[in-house]
Amino acid sequence: MGYKNTRECLEALEARGELVRIDKSVDANVEIGAIQRRVFRAGGPALLFNNVKGCRFPMAANIFGTRDRMRFLFRDTVDTVERLMKLKLSPMEAFKRPWAYLGAPRAAYHTLPRRVSDGPILRNRTTVSNLPQLVSWPMDGGGYVTLPQVYTEDPDNPGFAGSNMGMYRVQLSGNDYVQDKEVGLHYQIHRGIGHHHAKAIARGEPLKVNVFVGGPPAMTLAAVMPLPEGLAEIFFAGAMGGHRIPMVRHPGGLPMPAQADFCICGTVEGVEKSEGPFGDHLGYYSLAHDFPVLKVDAVYHRDDAVWPFTTVGRPPQEDTMFGEFIHELTSELVPSVFSGVHEVHAVDAAGVHPLLLAVGSERYVPYAGERQPQELLTNAMALLGNTQTSLSKYVFIAAREDMEEGQSCHDIPGFFHHMLTRADLTRDLHFITRTTIDTLDYSGISLNQGSKLVFAAAGSVKRALSTEVPSTLKLPRGYRDPQVFAPGILVLKGPKHRRKRDQQDPALERLAESFRSVKGIEGFPMIVLADDAGFTAGNWDNFLWVTFTRSDPATDMYGVGGFTHAKHWGADKAVVIDARLKTYHAPPLEPDPEVERAVDALGAKGGPLHGII
């Protein structure tokens, strides 16, 4: 059951007709990443690059590139793991229907890693500079590991039970790293490794770190799984992989998977250096900032090692498949983790963390003549205080009691329509200012710092949404091209942003004020200002990406009839969101035209990707 290593996985995909070998020489510097993204967009197969320029190791990509392929890779275990998840939700289910849970004890047994004295990973040693140096985008600061499994153990309680394994960015080359002796370790806020690092600092000790690449596919999935604090990812990997993960110890260091393809062993010892830039999953470059340095002690690899990789960029990308698969596994657990919350949707098109849609209960005052957000606010604060949902920037939450049968926050157009018809803009906007936000989000007032907004809606319909630009709308100079994107949502083009970070724009205050006299503007409770109105209003993916990745709620929201009362902010008629690129934003990712032409050639007649891209 389950695949023990990367080669087994690739052979199974090839036998199924879902892997293409590329023997033509390709460059890990930008070209190979462009190929992977193009094949992913086409819904194409996994790729095995056997001839990487300047590198003796083959590279594999798009292994997890379709939903069907994800289900295939974990076909032997996914149903059992889903049943285990349901057991957590309702332990009595095993007694009511024991036949449905016959595999559960075996799956629980598989969670326990197995200590071994030897394994393929120990066969060879190499150096960091000999590893594949993947540069995904033209402005990236160097070569990166993009599917790492970064493993640490609790310094106070070492062992598997207190371990953490996450997918944190690892920079292998570039910047000021000492070749073969140092790599960059970029971990963002609210990550499990941070707790271990803090304890190591408190003890005055270096933090031991192992970076695994490849091995059982379940290990890669486990590294991105948002598990509760205290539940070790390596236990989940065993359940998902259908076997006890064999672990072998590096002399004097941490254990490593015996079947991994590569392992970088080292320590973090209180040194930080500039890491980045890196083309990230929000669709922009995350810029260079100081992050911990991993001092490299050893690099191991197996005889037939393959380097699995992915690239990220503006969604959807291959990491979208991880998110969808994880949602399948965990969606029924949401009410048990967040009491009163029935459904959540971290919107991939908006970069995941910038926008969270949710449905909750509103039962605090069931006898009231008119429902208003009360329990919903408790629900929203719980979402912002726990797990990965705490990194959300905008939380739109609606009362389940007001929703029609079958209505869901995964129906984005329908959910926005529901929210905009029912929200009271004078009451239902709740800001948290100068708080922590996602490290990769540059819309805030500094690195890791910005604001959050809870946008709640409950009760009866408050307004009808308009579908035509008001005939009396006259835009001030510099603003043009008003477009109705969806009922109640108006998009317009504005002049280039010229303000400094952590400043509101007086021109936007004047723009919002000018709308007060426009008859019918209340039919557009959401007005979005963009650099390109046509692009932003082109489709939902564009609208969500531009609006929620390029705005900070507190800095970039203005009110048509805006007011502040007792430190509460609201708007009488509409909100205006400044979703222009700001002077301090990271640049969007742009492909290299020359590289794209080279990828086109691979898809031409006679090329290895003909008929695929």
Nearest Cα neighbor of 171 from 191, 156, 185, 187 is 185
Query: Do 222 and 257 fall within a single domain?
Result: yes
How distant is the alpha carbon of residue 235 from its chain centre? 22
| Tokens read off for 202 | 């408190």
User: Residue length, the chain?
Assistant: 613
Query: Do 285 and 347 fall within a single domain?
Result: no
Q: What is the pLDDT of residue 102?
A: 44
Computed over every residue of the chain, the mean pLDDT equals 93
User: Is 609 part of any domain?
Assistant: no
Q: 157: Cβ–Cβ under 8 A, 6 or more apart, which residues? A: none
Q: What is the mean pLDDT of residues 453-464?
A: 97
Q: 129: Cβ–Cβ under 8 A, 6 or more apart, which residues? A: 172, 173, 179, 180
- With beta carbons less than 8 A apart as the criterion, state whether 362 and 401 touch: yes
Q: How far apart are CA 222 and CA 232, in angstroms?
A: 9
Q: What is the pLDDT of residue 176?
A: 96
| Tokens read off for 348 | 């991939």
Q: E-assigned strands of 361-497?
A: 394-399, 429-436, 449-457, 480-486, 489-493
**Lowest-pLDDT choice from 335-339, 431-435, 589-593:** 335-339
| Tokens read off for 444 | 């805030």
Domain that holds residue 336: 318-457
Q: What is the pLDDT of residue 103?
A: 56
Q: What is the pLDDT of residue 332?
A: 77
pLDDT tops 50 at residue 468: yes
> What is the tens place of the pLDDT at every residue in 377-410?
999 999 999 888 999 999 999 999 999 999 999 9
- With beta carbons less than 8 A apart as the criterion, state whether 265 and 222 touch: no
Q: What is the pLDDT of residue 89?
A: 42
3-state secondary structure of 523: helix
pLDDT tops 90 at residue 563: yes
Return the CATH number at 217: 2.30.110.10
- With beta carbons less than 8 A apart as the criterion, state whether 59 and 261 touch: no
User: Is 594 part of any domain?
Assistant: no
pLDDT classification of 86: cutoffs 50, 70, 90: low
Q: How far apart are CA 45 and CA 30, in angstroms?
A: 20
User: Is 380 part of any domain?
Assistant: yes
**Lowest-pLDDT choice from 28-32, 276-280, 331-335, 452-456:** 331-335
Query: Do 288 and 362 fall within a single domain?
Result: no
> What is the tens place of the pLDDT at every residue in 531-550?
999 999 999 999 999 999 99
Query: Do 293 and 367 fall within a single domain?
Result: no
Q: Decide which of 90 and 326 is more confident.
A: 326
Task: Provide the β-strand partners of residue 432.
Answer: 452
Q: What is the mean pLDDT of residues 38-60?
A: 97
> What is the tens place of the pLDDT at every residue in 228-279?
766 889 999 998 999 999 999 877 889 999 999 999 999 999 899 999 999 9
H-type alpha helices, 26-76: 31-41, 67-73
Query: Do 148 and 270 fall within a single domain?
Result: yes
Q: Are strands 489-493 and 449-457 parallel, antiparallel or unpaired?
A: unpaired
User: Is 160 part of any domain?
Assistant: yes
Domain boundary (309, 330, 346) is at: 309
User: Is 138 part of any domain?
Assistant: yes
User: Is 515 part of any domain?
Assistant: no
Share of the chain above pLDDT 90, in %: 86
Return the CATH number at 402: 3.40.1670.10
- Integer Rg of the chain from CA: 25
Q: What is the pLDDT of residue 91?
A: 42
Q: What is the pLDDT of residue 78?
A: 87
Q: Decide which of 285 and 226 is more confident.
A: 285
Query: Do 58 and 204 fall within a single domain?
Result: yes
pLDDT tops 60 at residue 174: yes
Dihedral sign, Cα of residue 483, residue 541, residue 601, residue 603? negative
pLDDT tops 90 at residue 96: no
User: Is 51 part of any domain?
Assistant: yes
Q: How far apart are CA 168 and CA 457, in angstroms?
A: 36
Nearest Cα neighbor of 30 from 53, 7, 13 is 53
pLDDT tops 70 at residue 566: yes
Query: Do 156 and 17 fall within a single domain?
Result: yes
Dihedral sign, Cα of residue 45, residue 47, residue 48, residue 50? positive
Domain boundary (251, 274, 309) is at: 309
pLDDT classification of 567: cutoffs 50, 70, 90: very high
Query: Do 50 and 153 fall within a single domain?
Result: yes
Query: Do 354 and 251 fall within a single domain?
Result: no
- What's the structural domain count of the chain? 2
pLDDT tops 80 at residue 145: yes
Q: Decide which of 105 and 16 is more confident.
A: 16
Task: Tell me the CB-side half-sphere exposure of residue 57, using CA atoms within 13 A.
Answer: 28
| Tokens read off for 81 | 């793991």
> What is the tens place of the pLDDT at every residue in 358-383?
999 999 999 998 999 999 999 999 99
Q: Decide which of 553 and 91 is more confident.
A: 553
Q: How far apart are CA 447 and CA 64, in angstroms?
A: 31
CB neighbours (10 Å) of residue 362? 27
Q: What is the pLDDT of residue 306?
A: 98
Helix (H) or strand (E) holding 377: helix 375-383
Q: What is the mean pLDDT of residues 55-71?
A: 97
- With beta carbons less than 8 A apart as the criterion, state whether 509 and 312 touch: no
| Tokens read off for 360 | 């909750």
Query: Do 181 and 326 fall within a single domain?
Result: no
How distant is the alpha carbon of residue 163 from its chain centre? 22
Query: Do 190 and 67 fall within a single domain?
Result: yes
pLDDT classification of 328: cutoffs 50, 70, 90: confident
Query: Do 259 and 175 fall within a single domain?
Result: yes
pLDDT tops 50 at residue 100: no
277: cis peptide before it, omega within 30°? Answer: yes
In three state form, how does the secondary structure of 137-182 look?
A: CCCCCCCEECCEEEEEECCCCCCHHHEEEECCEEECCCCCCCCCCE
Share of the chain above pLDDT 70, in %: 95
User: Is 479 part of any domain?
Assistant: no
DSSP one-letter code for 264: E
Domain boundary (457, 476, 493) is at: 457
pTM score > 0.85 for this model? yes
Nearest Cα neighbor of 259 from 244, 274, 269, 239 is 244
